[in-house]
Amino acid sequence: MDKSWTLLDLLNVTRDYLAGKGIENPRGSTEALLGKVLNMPRVELYVQHDRPLREEEVEQFRSLIKRRLKHEPLQLILGKAEFCGAMLELAPGLLIPRPETEELVENVLREISSVSQNQSLRALDIGCGTGCIAVALAKHATHVTVDAVDIEPTAIRITESNAARNGVLARVNSICADLFSPQFTQLLNPPYDVLISNPPYVREQDFSQLTPEVRLYESRLALVASEEGLAFYRRISILLPTLLRPHGLVALEVGFGQSDSVCELLHGGLDTMTVHKDLAGIARMIFGRRKQEAASKTAVS
């Protein structure tokens, strides 16, 4: 017969086992996966630490641990992730929302906070993926409506599901479109007040260096861009005069070491640009306003 397990015994043994296999955050993974099996919040696992587990519960837990040992991201195994206070459904292949993108959204919310709630704003989210940006904006700024665009039909379906889940479906309009298509702008309703995007920016030669969690389980299409990772920024810079109203806000997430190159691409279309660093001190976000008359300048904060 198999060993009889209590909650605490299984938590401790599994945590140590995952740590020995080099799995990131072994304790968090163990707690989250056992909590999924038992439908328990983390704290309840420890409140009921001496509870014996049924054989079928242990087997179900083992099947989830096997997935994690193959480097399947914890969020995908759980099927959900929290982003800016919104609970999101995930799907295989779509980019898992990152903390850096939360910072991008938080900065946009600060930028538009001075706009009266009686004044409606229209935002465009290019490359919406799970809809994390669009849903978070609509959830926390009730005067904003968002057109969320992605080339992947799965992304459109999940974005609509997440908008409904968070009560903002009426203000999130999902559109399946290719940014590089000549008909792209014809599928939209420009100009917008805000253009926000976390586009693909990984260089093709760097893809093989990504962690197994990213390389094996997230969409290459959502990660990799040609032209040294700059293709999407170049295309956005070309379309800015059509997509964004004068003095409209553009907010872009960029990859490590890309801020100078992206600023150069945007230089002709924007007034003063600001490069924001993320919590790790990496230049990660570029903000600017569509140019009217003034020459562009760049600041770092």
Domain residue limits at 47: 7-70
Number of domains in the chain: 2
125/234 same-domain check = yes
| One-character DSSP codes across 7-54 | HHHHHHHHHHHHHHTT-SSHHHHHHHHHHHHHT--HHHHHHTTTPBPP
* Of 18, 50, 70, the domain-final residue: 70
**Does 215 fall in a domain?**
yes
pLDDT, tens only, 46-68: 999 999 999 999 999 999 999 99
pLDDT, tens only, 248-289: 999 999 999 999 999 999 988 888 889 999 999 999 999 999
**Does 75 fall in a domain?**
no
Query: What's the confidence (pLDDT) of residue 270?
Result: 87
> Distance between CA 283 and CA 252 in Å, rounded?
11
96/25 same-domain check = no
What's the whole-number mean pLDDT along residues 136-163?
97
What's the whole-number mean pLDDT along residues 109-116?
83
172/57 same-domain check = no
Q: Where are the beta strands (DSSP E) in the chain?
A: 80-83, 86-89, 121-126, 144-150, 172-176, 192-197, 202-203, 224-225, 244-253, 270-277, 283-290, 298-300
DSSP code, position 105: H
This prediction has a pTM of: 0.90
